[in-house]
Structure 1
Amino acid sequence: MTAMSTLHSLPPDDRALFHRFAAGPTETPPFRRIHHAFQAQARTARLRDAPAVEHEGVHLTYGELDARSDRVAATLAAVGVRPGDHVGLFLTRSVHMVVGILGVLKAGAAYVPQDIRITPPRHLDHVLRTAGINVVLTTSEHAGTIQARTTLALDTLPPHPTHQTHPTSTHPTHQTHPTSTHPTHQTHPTHDVTPDDTAVVIFTSGTTGVPNGVRVTHANLCNVLLTQPGSLGIRPGDRVAQLLNIAFDMAAWEILAALSHGATLTIRGRDPQATAATATVLIATPGLLSTIDPTACPHVRVVAVAGERCPQPLADAWSAQATFHNACGPTEVTIVNTVSRYDGHRVTIGRPVPNSTVYILDEHLRPCRIGEIGEMWAGGACVTAGYLNNDVLTAQRYRPDPFLGGDHLMFRTRDLGRWTPDGELEHHGRTDDQVKVRGFRVELDAVTSALETTEHCLKATTVVHDGALVGFVSPATVDPDAARAAVARALPYYCVPSRIVPVDDLPLTDRGKVDRAALRALVTVA
């Protein structure tokens, strides 16, 4: 398949627009390894003593964070971690989490994050095996529960150079005794790592229920986090809230974007509202953001959401006081690959991020006409390095890119979209959100969008239960008859839910997305 053979069916005008809309701007990120961006901030006189990270009364300056992560990198090297290795980061939100991330990156390895408090042991075992992890960073509270060859408790590593450390091992026969955590002749450990090396492995929920590890490279992260709009204009003096599950790819957006641009990362405790109240920048899923009161966050100047569709009432509420970005993109295209600044009129997912492309293709991988709905394929610098130990799935979802050519790949996102006449992308659900109801094909997101036009409705979602559509609207004061009528006005009769359930709040998964499984269970109980 060649670009010419796939484009010839388009009218000439659409051919020109296809090329113009598909490509993001060309930019050169200032760094090619993501931890180098942090180091550049930490080693300036202006920021060395500035706050880098804080959590429940614990604070580290940029200089302290740089030094502590250096010592972790040296410790990792001493226990045998080499460039290209995968190091588990199995802990909970904390300052130690941030020290560990930077220490792994400085050691030339890739970090594999999991929230040990909520991740089932079976899932952790799968991550250990699939990623080939021999060394895990955690805290002493959890060290005894991890079945890895070597387990290092970050809270027991000395904050200052010593001559001997004794990492905790779950298998005493494999106990390792490095000779030094911080060699006196090497202030800043350096290890061979290329931009194409993996920086983080994110495990996503696979369609078969088996999590797949996605290899996100330094070049991928630098491309989206160090250029606009993904950098969000973050600057020294900003306070970026860390609200999300550390195993979620968007947590890397919060953490690494903040530290790459000299801001303070403020890590949430139990109450996300309390953390958001002191922040100037929020990055969240729409589901999580909907639990935060914007009137109690007077300092917030920038908000970005991704991970699921954004209700317009949510965008309206936050854009009244802050610049509001709606973004889209699965983990396999590096957190987000399209970003839109909300204009107050319509919620779109915007345009491709720099050095990246988005194609709207039909089932035969031919370009759709401008305005036609098709499946979104992503190309260019956003495309990650594929799945760990799953060449079959990689070959299915990552295909040669006929439009960029060469050895470029494009990724099948399974998102449905279309171009507007002015080159904005509208999201139209997912291919796996298309269901058959009474013999008709229905897009669940289209039903949800219609529900959210109901008076007083702030958020909604739609599920299928026993072959019928069930709509959930929030808050619980929303009139079910009015919600049903709103769908009937916007969509064909077969799209009208057979039941409307008003609820106070929509339940969320541990990654901050609406939990449709819990809602289906709620219908069953009712």
Structure 2
Amino acid sequence: MLLDEIEQVCNEFGGDVVCLARPTAPELTRAGLLEQAAALRDGLRKIGVEEGSRIGLSLAPGPDLLTAIIAVWSLGSAFVPIDPNEVQPRRRTIVRDGQLSAVLAPRITDEHAALNTLAVAVTNGQVTATSGCATAPIRDRVPDEAYVIFTSGSTGLPKGVSVGQSAITSYIHSARCLYSVPEQGIVIPSQLPPTFDAALTTLLLPLVTRNVAMPVADPSSATRALASLIRDVESPVLVKTTPSQLRILYQLLSDGDIAHLAEQGATIIVGGEALDFADLTRFRQPSIAIFNEYGPTEATVGCSVYRVKDDDPHAGFVPIGTPFPGTTFSLNRATGGPQNEGELVISGVGVALGYVNVPGSDRFIHGGPEPAYRSGDRVRLDPDGLYHFLGRGDDQVKVNGYRVELGEIDAALRVVCRGPAVATLTDGGIVAVAEEHADLDLDALASQLRALLPPYMQPTAILTLPRLPLTPHGKIDRQTISQTIAVRARPRPADPLAEHVEQRWRALLNLAEVRADTDFFVAGAHSITALTLTGQLAEDLGTNVPISLIFDHPTFADFVDAVRACTGDVDSQVHKPEAVARDVHRTPSAAQLAIIGAEGWADDPAQFTVTAAARPAFRVIQVV
């Protein structure tokens, strides 16, 4: 099992650094990792945590997380990652449905204390505080269980996927071979949240080799921190990311940064959602190996892979490739459908043990020669033996009696929009939502889509957002987009002040539309924009508009209400709309610039510090 391999490497090369959490955390050697894990295991036993338990880990990527994983496994138990920022109702559901005996965290908060289980604060392998009592271990738990990952469920409640030790061991062995991971000499950044099982690639590979794990410096801005690491690293790297995160990296990294990455040598593994060749253009260099990894959580991180080749196209979806060793793919074909298309059924050692809170799910197939899982993903097998992802089976909708796969429309949208875009079904029909960028030509999209899609699949409307929202795991959040569309559809009553403020926002942020829930800073503003906005409104309204208003009320509707409360009945005083066009690019006043100068510019040109004169504290806005 994997724990035996980890202990063997750590004992043999105890002086090697296994984890370097930059910039301030000390280095953790392999011998130190084993010592801390043993101390934590013994500490958990002393406070009543027994063998066979499930233990929640509310820890960010870093030394304490690696220590906790080894401690839990050496205790004969399974770990359950919990997002430190998870909302309390969902956290309670995970504790209840996962039957957790304890939850480990850096410190005990009121939320941890209210989880009806043992809360344990851990630092450097030491139990520093506790609250509550450990519950008894699960009597019917499968002894082979390594971890449980809770994923979104179709019922609205999370489903706990139980994965065995043999499955995760098989995955790590396959990944090490398929991605040509050397015995030593590379850095492996860890920026993905542990609740996303893709993170296990970057957490566990350093433990079974002599390579170094490097958690990102700032989990709250993981992509920016990853970009910084790529700029600074002086050794080959292995990066695991999602297509959506990769697109942001694409914008953050200069050609020189990518040239530096290529000079060092890199392996980039992309997974979690469909990958387009167009997102890889600048990374396709001889010394950068790029892999598209496919696999649902129920098939243990990844179960198939495709390596991008020099002669591959520069647009269109990347194949999901061929199955991992020990894994078999088969197709559930629809009656009358193509022989080479259907729902993907995954069989083999990597298939999970089942759901801990959905007994008897028909997704898992038992009784055959190997465990199997019905993925719900539609795929196509081409003549070369490569599998291609076509979309989710549950993304199938009906429009005027026709069956429509939203994934197919997504594919066409990405081609014509040349960037992230998705389709969703509303009461008014299919609506396309695209991410704004300089080359997006809305006028040309309709005619281009007509060339790719039949009439019944044409979107009835095309909307844009400054950036498509992502889930915590870095995937495009279709549910939030649908909610955003619903908010956009709500008419706003006539309001002279709101209309004027909206014009200011649209002009400053270059937005086609401002919604009630539009966030000023998420839409692209920074501290200078905030100074400019409040200065303009103060002049427009003939009264003071404190800069603190936009920081305290960043969404449009809240900001308008705050301005109204601060300035009184000013509707009749609002300047004429043409004033907006005249002074959009007006620079901040001398007084405003003096405020900035008092704190100074940050080293990063995209980060500014503003001190509100009316308050003793200041707020930093980072623009990603």
Query: What is the Cα deviation at residue 412 of structure 1?
Result: 0.6
Secondary structure at the residue paired with 2:325? coil
Distance 1:231 1:252, change over 3 A: farther
Distance 1:120 1:274, change over 3 A: closer
Secondary structure at the residue paired with 1:128? helix
Gaps of 5+ in 1: 1-32, 159-164, 176-193
Worse overlay, 218-227 or 144-153: 144-153
Distance 1:38 1:204, change over 3 A: same
* Residue in structure 1 matched with residue 87 of structure 2 by the alignment: 120
Query: What is the Cα deviation at residue 156 of structure 1?
Result: 7.5
Pair 1:462 & 2:423 matched:
yes
Q: Matched residues in 2 for 1:347 and 1:166: separation? A: 48
* Residue in structure 2 matched with residue 341 of structure 1 by the alignment: 307
For residues 24-39 of structure 1, the aligned pairs below 5 Å read 33-39=1-7
Structure 1 residue corresponding to 2:170, chosen from 219, 223, 242: 223
The TM-score normalised by the length of structure 1 is 0.80
Query: What is the Cα deviation at residue 234 of structure 1?
Result: 2.7
Worse overlay, 63-72 or 257-266: 257-266
Q: Matched residues in 2 for 1:108 and 1:243: separation? A: 27
Q: CA RMSD in A?
A: 2.7
Structure with greater helix share of residues: 2
Q: Which amino acid counterpart does residue 81 of structure 1 have in structure 2?
A: V
For residues 488-499 of structure 1, the aligned pairs below 5 Å read 488-499=450-461
8 Å CA contact 1:195–1:218 kept in 2: the answer is: no
8 Å CA contact 2:64–2:125 kept in 1: the answer is: no
Secondary structure at the residue paired with 1:441? strand
8 Å CA contact 1:76–1:104 kept in 2: the answer is: no
Percent identical across equivalent pairs? Answer: 26
Pair 1:318 & 2:269 matched:
no
8 Å CA contact 1:133–1:148 kept in 2: the answer is: no
Post-superposition CA distance 1:286-332 (Å, at most 9, x none): 11222113543533611111111112211333333621111222111
Q: Matched residues in 2 for 1:52 and 1:331: separation? A: 26
Post-superposition CA distance 1:21-41 (Å, at most 9, x none): xxxxxxxxxxxx222332232
Q: Matched residues in 1 for 2:454 and 2:478: separation? A: 23
8 Å CA contact 2:194–2:200 kept in 1: the answer is: yes
Secondary structure at the residue paired with 2:15? coil
Q: Matched residues in 2 for 1:241 and 1:75: separation? A: 29
Q: Matched residues in 1 for 2:44 and 2:100: separation? A: 13
The TM-score normalised by the length of structure 2 is 0.68
Pair 1:275 & 2:226 matched:
yes
* Residue in structure 2 matched with residue 351 of structure 1 by the alignment: 322
Query: What is the Cα deviation at residue 452 of structure 1?
Result: 1.8
Secondary structure at the residue paired with 2:72? helix
Distance 1:521 1:52, change over 3 A: same
8 Å CA contact 2:242–2:474 kept in 1: the answer is: yes
Pair 1:265 & 2:233 matched:
no
Gaps of 5+ in 2: 136-140, 231-236, 489-624
8 Å CA contact 2:108–2:120 kept in 1: the answer is: no
Query: What is the Cα deviation at residue 167 of structure 1?
Result: 4.5
Q: Matched residues in 2 for 1:485 and 1:285: separation? A: 31
Q: Matched residues in 2 for 1:87 and 1:224: separation? A: 22
Q: Matched residues in 2 for 1:500 and 1:94: separation? A: 42
Q: Matched residues in 1 for 2:358 and 2:403: separation? A: 32
* Residue in structure 2 matched with residue 22 of structure 1 by the alignment: none
8 Å CA contact 2:88–2:111 kept in 1: the answer is: no
Q: Matched residues in 1 for 2:50 and 2:428: separation? A: 52
8 Å CA contact 2:185–2:210 kept in 1: the answer is: yes
Secondary structure at the residue paired with 2:198? helix
Q: Which amino acid counterpart does residue 354 of structure 2 have in structure 1?
A: G
Q: Matched residues in 2 for 1:244 and 1:216: separation? A: 19
Query: What is the Cα deviation at residue 378 of structure 1?
Result: 0.3
Pair 1:287 & 2:244 matched:
yes
Q: Matched residues in 2 for 1:127 and 1:71: separation? A: 27
Distance 1:149 1:446, change over 3 A: closer
Q: Which amino acid counterpart does residue 265 of structure 1 have in structure 2?
A: A
8 Å CA contact 1:81–1:109 kept in 2: the answer is: no
Distance 1:196 1:485, change over 3 A: farther
Q: Which amino acid counterpart does residue 35 of structure 2 have in structure 1?
A: A
For residues 404-483 of structure 1, the aligned pairs below 5 Å read 405-406=368-369, 408-454=370-416, 457-477=418-438, 478-483=440-445
Pair 1:198 & 2:145 matched:
yes
Pair 1:400 & 2:366 matched:
yes
Secondary structure at the residue paired with 2:94? helix
Post-superposition CA distance 1:78-105 (Å, at most 9, x none): 3343433211112334432222122111
For residues 103-182 of structure 1, the aligned pairs below 5 Å read 103-116=71-84, 118-142=85-109, 145-146=112-113, 147-155=115-123, 158=126, 167-170=129-132
Worse overlay, 218-227 or 135-144: 135-144
Post-superposition CA distance 1:103-162 (Å, at most 9, x none): 11121110001012x21111111111112112221112537733344222112754xxxx
Structure 2 residue corresponding to 1:327, chosen from 276, 279, 293: 293
Post-superposition CA distance 1:148-190 (Å, at most 9, x none): 44222112754xxxxxx6741236xx79xxxxxxxxxxxxxxx
Q: Matched residues in 1 for 2:401 and 2:86: separation? A: 39
Q: Which amino acid counterpart does residue 505 of structure 1 have in structure 2?
A: R
Query: What is the Cα deviation at residue 498 of structure 1?
Result: 1.6
Q: Matched residues in 2 for 1:312 and 1:290: separation? A: 11
Larger radius of gyration: 2
Secondary structure at the residue paired with 2:434? strand
Q: Matched residues in 2 for 1:397 and 1:100: separation? A: 31
Structure 2 residue corresponding to 1:246, chosen from 178, 184, 194: 194
Q: Matched residues in 1 for 2:377 and 2:19: separation? A: 36
* Residue in structure 2 matched with residue 23 of structure 1 by the alignment: none
Q: Matched residues in 2 for 1:481 and 1:494: separation? A: 20
Secondary structure at the residue paired with 1:115? coil
Distance 1:476 1:500, change over 3 A: farther
Q: Which amino acid counterpart does residue 363 of structure 2 have in structure 1?
A: R
8 Å CA contact 1:311–1:458 kept in 2: the answer is: no
Structure 2 residue corresponding to 1:79, chosen from 28, 38, 47: 47
Post-superposition CA distance 1:457-487 (Å, at most 9, x none): 1322222222422222234330123333332
Query: What is the Cα deviation at residue 521 of structure 1?
Result: 2.5
Post-superposition CA distance 1:472-523 (Å, at most 9, x none): 2234330123333332222212222122223332111111110112222322
Worse overlay, 335-344 or 481-490: 481-490
* Residue in structure 1 matched with residue 565 of structure 2 by the alignment: none
Give the paired residue count: 457
Q: Matched residues in 2 for 1:440 and 1:53: separation? A: 55
Query: What is the Cα deviation at residue 369 of structure 1?
Result: 6.2
Q: Matched residues in 1 for 2:322 and 2:478: separation? A: 28
Q: Matched residues in 2 for 1:83 and 1:39: separation? A: 19
Greater RCO structure (CA 8 Å; 6+ sep): 1
Query: What is the Cα deviation at residue 195 of structure 1?
Result: 11
Secondary structure at the residue paired with 2:355? coil
Q: Which amino acid counterpart does residue 337 of structure 1 have in structure 2?
A: C
* Residue in structure 1 matched with residue 605 of structure 2 by the alignment: none
